[in-house]
């Protein structure tokens, strides 16, 4: 299942890097560091999406900044020299601009923005400065774009338009702007009185809602002619377009291999001619693996396509995602990372033919590369050796959340990589990596973090009840005295197929600043420890992962850190589901907070977006009810005595608020101490800063009241009504 946690977003999981001395800038006569606060969450700027220019002289990137005053998050595009120096803002404040992509000649930056009330469009900006110019005037909703290597065209990934949008476009004045700025969830859609007419097997998706038959397809946009040609079509979704080096072909990911794409996990890599005019009637299927094949990347000579593959569709998310390579014309594929047995993502070719990618491993996200001693003509059979780009000697704990490699052979000697790097004590910043040496480029959050005193996330190892080795991160309170037992919060992670990595976590630092030790376990089901470890909880949630979570609590008690009489538990998504399991199994916690959790899974079948996952893992609920009951903590709800706060968004179709409502209703009926907080117009990952602030305030109040028992009210004070002059 894919119950992802909002904590995984780059705002709560940003970065930290006290581990390497060159990370810090010098600050003269700075005041004494202070504990982090809730307000600091909205001062942290999320650096992401690095894009190295073709001449390797500059890197463009995006920065997200939230504001409680406007109750919005805004994205701007910046640029900085790869040799270091001042960062230059490329787009203005007051409007979101994102997804920067260099033109092949390096003179321009294209990006996506919904300006002047329009739908998202592609805009073009001269690298030397000046006003951005709108390049497209699209009726369909823009999802993604990519330049052709020759610079003459772009591929656009567009969602099929609604008939009413096409009709409205016919009568739109030339200078008029579209009214809607989002795809499925604009205020216009929410106020519509039209019914949803549904005939798909997969009919609901978080942040979209009910699904119709409109799909995402590829279009080629001629920049000089301003003409648009649709090159794929059909009742299938296409994604991840990638140009061949000669600009003649497009590789893409699609679920068009099966009669009903909603019924399986299968996606394959396909190619289509960029000059195609028959809307994709003639395609080449590159891969035929029955599981997921995705993230295509062309080799520099155009003969091969690297991609990410999942070999066992029956395990879906629990299966290891491997790096593979196939002839671009189709043919036998070779999996390059079988011996690595780690989750692989975002493959990119370097000019010499080596493939860079990210792999999770033992509490980190690591940058790795295949060996390629023979240049771009290296045979596939010679690509098997995997090199690790982050050194394990005197291990530095950090994670790579994104990267960009040079596309120009002139930088082949230095193999320049720009990486988005994080540790437990700093949010994401950009680093250049040359010959394995890291140099910090951006300093977006240095001024703020120079003011803060933080807890070091220590990676620890312990054994579970059955002897299984388990790992996780522990954050001690600020000014912790060894041997002193302190209030402790267990924080199960989302997923369950995910893990805590060496990344900055505002919530861990916030709890530590308020006197708690914080436990971030990676129990069975977590990634980074191999497929067997990951699949150990298949159809068995709340058993081995519960034992592993409790083993970390026991470890913290044995180390003299956790006070066994002052324990709290809480998480979001599968972390909320784990919390629901935990409070039905033990009474050792004084308080619990279940965010976007669930406990009666049969009631979610057909209500959330996971019908396919449920059927694969548990079977059909009317045919295999015992499996569904086994994994549902609701069956033991009468055993719960822990004061529990349930929270979630009212339009979350990932893990709907229904799960929290059912647990709340049961506990309320049983006379237990409980509360339910529902946030309006929020999906699984919250968007409004004011709602995030409210959640954090309620977290602190609930734990202070029940775990610390320090007299703090369990519910924070309501804000005073705003007055007008």
pLDDT over threshold 70, residue 723: no
Question: How much is the pLDDT for 129?
Answer: 77
Alpha-carbon torsion 578, 583, 588, 590, what sign?
Answer: positive
Question: How much is the pLDDT for 720?
Answer: 62
- 136-163 pLDDT per residue, tens: 999 999 999 999 999 999 999 999 998 8
State how far the Cα of 125 lies from the Cα of 100, in Å rounded to an integer: 10
Pairing of strands 399-405, 386-388: unpaired
Give the residue among 128, 121, 67 at the shortest CA–CA distance from 94: 67
Question: How much is the pLDDT for 57?
Answer: 94
pLDDT band at 276 (very low <50, low <70, confident <90, very high): confident
Q: Given this structure, which CATH class describes domain 455-708?
A: alpha beta
State how far the Cα of 417 lies from the Cα of 78, in Å rounded to an integer: 18
pLDDT over threshold 80, residue 6: no
Record the tokens describing residue 319, joined without a space.
């299966």
The enclosing H or E element of 575 equals: helix 574-585
481 by Cβ neighbours in 10 Å (0-12 / 13-18 / 19+) ranks as exposed
Give the residue among 536, 448, 438, 603 at the shortest CA–CA distance from 33: 448
Cα three-residue angle 671-673-678, rounded to 5 degrees: 110
Q: How close are the terminal C-alpha atoms of the chain, in Å?
A: 52
Q: Give the mean pLDDT of 476-485.
A: 95
* φ, ψ of residue 408 in degrees (nearest 5): -110, 125
Within 10 A of 713 (CB to CB), how many other CB atoms are there?
A: 10
State how far the Cα of 12 lies from the Cα of 390, in Å rounded to an integer: 23
* φ, ψ of residue 216 in degrees (nearest 5): -100, 130
Q: Give the mean pLDDT of 684-703.
A: 98
pLDDT over threshold 80, residue 328: yes
Helices (H), 148-307: 163-170, 187-190
pLDDT band at 721 (very low <50, low <70, confident <90, very high): low
Cα→Cα distances 647→579, 594, 595, 699, Å: 12, 6, 5, 10
State how far the Cα of 452 lies from the Cα of 519, in Å rounded to an integer: 21
Comparing 358 with 412, which gets the higher pLDDT? Answer: 358
Residue 187's SS3 state is helix
Question: How much is the pLDDT for 407?
Answer: 65
State how far the Cα of 643 lies from the Cα of 667, in Å rounded to an integer: 9
pLDDT band at 193 (very low <50, low <70, confident <90, very high): confident
Question: How much is the pLDDT for 717?
Answer: 87
pLDDT over threshold 80, residue 5: no
Helix axes 506-513, 689-703, angle to 10 degrees: 40
672 by Cβ neighbours in 10 Å (0-12 / 13-18 / 19+) ranks as middle
Q: Comparing 229-233, 252-256, 410-414, 678-682, which segment has the lowest mean pLDDT?
A: 410-414
Comparing 67 with 277, which gets the higher pLDDT? Answer: 67
State how far the Cα of 526 lies from the Cα of 383, in Å rounded to an integer: 28
Percent of the chain with pLDDT over 90: 80
- 294-323 pLDDT per residue, tens: 999 999 999 999 999 999 999 999 999 999
Question: How much is the pLDDT for 362?
Answer: 94
Q: What is the DSSP-derived secondary structure letter of residue 665?
A: H
Give the residue among 271, 267, 276 at the shortest CA–CA distance from 252: 271
Q: Give the mean pLDDT of 329-358.
A: 92
- 417-469 pLDDT per residue, tens: 999 999 999 999 999 998 778 999 999 999 999 999 999 999 999 999 999 99
Question: How much is the pLDDT for 28?
Answer: 44
Q: Give the mean pLDDT of 480-498.
A: 96
Q: What is the DSSP-derived secondary structure letter of residue 705?
A: I
- Assign residue 595 a region: left if phi > 0, alpha if psi is -120 to 50, beta otherwise? beta
State how far the Cα of 548 lies from the Cα of 126, in Å rounded to an integer: 54
Q: What's the mean pLDDT when you consider all of the chain?
A: 89
pLDDT over threshold 70, residue 8: no
Helix axes 544-558, 574-585, angle to 10 degrees: 80
Residue 606's SS3 state is coil
Q: What is the DSSP-derived secondary structure letter of residue 557?
A: H
Q: Sheet containing 386-388: give its strands across.
A: 344-349, 355-361, 364-370, 386-388
Q: What is the DSSP-derived secondary structure letter of residue 292?
A: B
pLDDT over threshold 60, residue 410: no
How far, in whole angstroms, is CA 385 from its chain's centroid? 28
pLDDT over threshold 80, residue 724: no
pLDDT over threshold 60, residue 373: no
State how far the Cα of 293 lies from the Cα of 85, in Å rounded to an integer: 40
Residues ≥6 apart with Cβ < 8 Å to 320: 310, 311, 341, 342, 343, 530, 531, 534
Q: Give the mean pLDDT of 235-248.
A: 97
Record the tokens describing residue 546, joined without a space.
């519960």
Question: How much is the pLDDT for 378?
Answer: 35
pLDDT band at 174 (very low <50, low <70, confident <90, very high): low
State how far the Cα of 516 lies from the Cα of 362, in Å rounded to an integer: 25
Residues ≥6 apart with Cβ < 8 Å to 72: 66, 688, 689
Q: Quickly list DSSP for 333-348.
A: -EES-TTT-S-EEEEE
Q: What is the DSSP-derived secondary structure letter of residue 509?
A: H
Question: How much is the pLDDT for 387?
Answer: 66
* Residue ranges of domains in the chain: 294-400+409-415, 455-708
Residue with tokens 């709890």: 511
Question: How much is the pLDDT for 281?
Answer: 87
Q: Comparing 191-200, 439-448, 624-633, which segment has the lowest mean pLDDT?
A: 191-200
Q: What is the DSSP-derived secondary structure letter of residue 596?
A: S
- 69-125 pLDDT per residue, tens: 999 999 999 999 999 999 999 999 999 999 999 999 999 999 999 987 779 999 999
The CATH fold assigned to 294-400+409-415 is Neuraminidase (2.120.10)
State yes or no: cis peptide before 496, omega within 30 of 0. yes
pLDDT over threshold 70, residue 639: yes
Question: How much is the pLDDT for 406?
Answer: 81
State how far the Cα of 615 lies from the Cα of 633, in Å rounded to an integer: 19
């Amino acid at each position: 299942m894919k119950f992802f946690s909002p904590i995984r977003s780059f705002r709560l999981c940003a970065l930290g890097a006290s581990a390497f001395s060159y990370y810090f800038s010098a600050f003269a006569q700075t005041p004494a560091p202070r504990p982090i606060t809730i307000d600091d969450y909205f001062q942290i700027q999320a650096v992401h999406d690095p894009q190295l220019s073709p001449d390797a002289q500059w890197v463009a990137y995006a920065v997200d900044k939230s504001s409680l005053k406007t109750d919005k998050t805004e994205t701007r595009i910046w640029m900085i020299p790869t040799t270091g120096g001042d960062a230059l803002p490329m787009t203005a404040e007051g409007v979101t601009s994102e997804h920067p992509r260099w033109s092949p000649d390096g003179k321009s930056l294209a990006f996506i923005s919904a300006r002047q009330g329009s739908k998202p469009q592609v805009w073009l900006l001269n690298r030397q400065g000046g006003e951005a110019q709108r390049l497209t005037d699209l009726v369909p909703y823009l999802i993604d774009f990519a330049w052709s290597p020759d610079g003459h065209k772009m591929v656009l990934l567009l969602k099929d338009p609604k008939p009413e949008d096409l009709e409205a476009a016919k009568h739109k004045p030339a200078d008029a702007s579209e009214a809607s700025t989002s795809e499925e969830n604009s205020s216009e859609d929410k106020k519509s009185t039209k019914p949803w007419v549904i005939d798909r097997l997969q009919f609901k998706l978080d942040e979209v809602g009910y699904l119709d038959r409109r799909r995402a397809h590829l279009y080629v946009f001629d920049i000089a002619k301003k003409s648009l040609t649709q090159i794929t079509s059909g009742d299938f979704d296409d994604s991840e377009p990638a140009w061949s080096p000669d600009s003649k072909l497009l590789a893409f990911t699609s679920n068009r291999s099966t009669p009903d794409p909603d019924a399986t996990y299968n996606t394959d890599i396909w190619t289509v001619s960029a000059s195609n005019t028959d809307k994709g009637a003639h395609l080449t299927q590159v891969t035929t693996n029955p599981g997921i094949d995705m993230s295509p990347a062309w080799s520099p000579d155009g003969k091969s396509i690297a991609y990410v593959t999942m070999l066992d569709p029956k395990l879906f998310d629990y299966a290891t995602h491997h790096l593979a390579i196939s002839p671009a014309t189709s043919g036998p594929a070779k999996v390059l990372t079988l011996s690595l047995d780690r989750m692989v993502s975002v493959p990119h070719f370097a000019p010499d033919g080596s493939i860079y990618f990210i792999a999770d491993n033992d509490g980190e996200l690591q940058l790795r590369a295949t060996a390629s001693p023979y240049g771009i003509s290296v045979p596939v059979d010679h690509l098997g050796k995997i090199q690790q780009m982050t050194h394990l000697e005197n291990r530095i704990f950090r994670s790579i959340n994104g990267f960009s490699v040079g596309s120009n052979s002139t930088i082949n000697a230095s193999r320049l990589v720009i990486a988005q790097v994080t540790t437990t004590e700093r949010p994401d910043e950009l680093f250049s990596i040359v010959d394995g040496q890291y140099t910090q480029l951006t300093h977006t959050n240095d001024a703020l973090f120079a003011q803060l005193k933080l807890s070091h996330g220590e990676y620890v190892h312990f054994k579970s009840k059955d002897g299984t080795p388990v790992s996780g991160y522990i954050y001690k309170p600020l000014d912790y005295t060894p041997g002193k037992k302190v209030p402790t919060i267990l924080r199960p992670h989302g997923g369950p197929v995910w893990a805590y990595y060496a990344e900055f976590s505002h919530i861990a630092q916030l709890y530590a600043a308020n006197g708690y030790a914080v436990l971030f376990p990676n129990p069975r089901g977590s990634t980074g420890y191999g497929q067997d470890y990951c699949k150990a909880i298949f159809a068995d949630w709340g058993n081995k992962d519960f034992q592993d979570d409790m083993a970390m609590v026991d470890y913290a008690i044995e180390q003299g850190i956790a006070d066994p009489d002052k324990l709290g538990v809480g998480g979001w998504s599968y972390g909320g589901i784990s919390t629901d399991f935990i409070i039905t199994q033990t009474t050792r916690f004084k308080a619990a907070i279940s965010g976007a959790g669930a406990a009666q899974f049969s009631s979610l079948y057909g209500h959330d977006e996971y019908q396919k996952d449920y059927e694969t893992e548990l079977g059909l609920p009317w045919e295999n009810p015992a499996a569904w009951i086994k994994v549902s903590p609701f069956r033991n709800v009468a055993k719960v005595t822990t004061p529990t706060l349930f929270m979630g968004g009212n339009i979350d179709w990932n893990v709907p608020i229904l799960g929290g409502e059912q647990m709340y209703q049961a506990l309320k009926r049983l006379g237990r101490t409980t509360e339910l907080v529902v946030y309006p117009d929020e999906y699984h990952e919250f968007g409004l800063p004011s709602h995030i602030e409210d959640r954090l305030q309620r977290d602190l109040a609930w734990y202070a009241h029940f775990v610390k028992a320090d007299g703090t009210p369990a519910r924070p004070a309501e804000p005073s009504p705003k007055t007008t002059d």
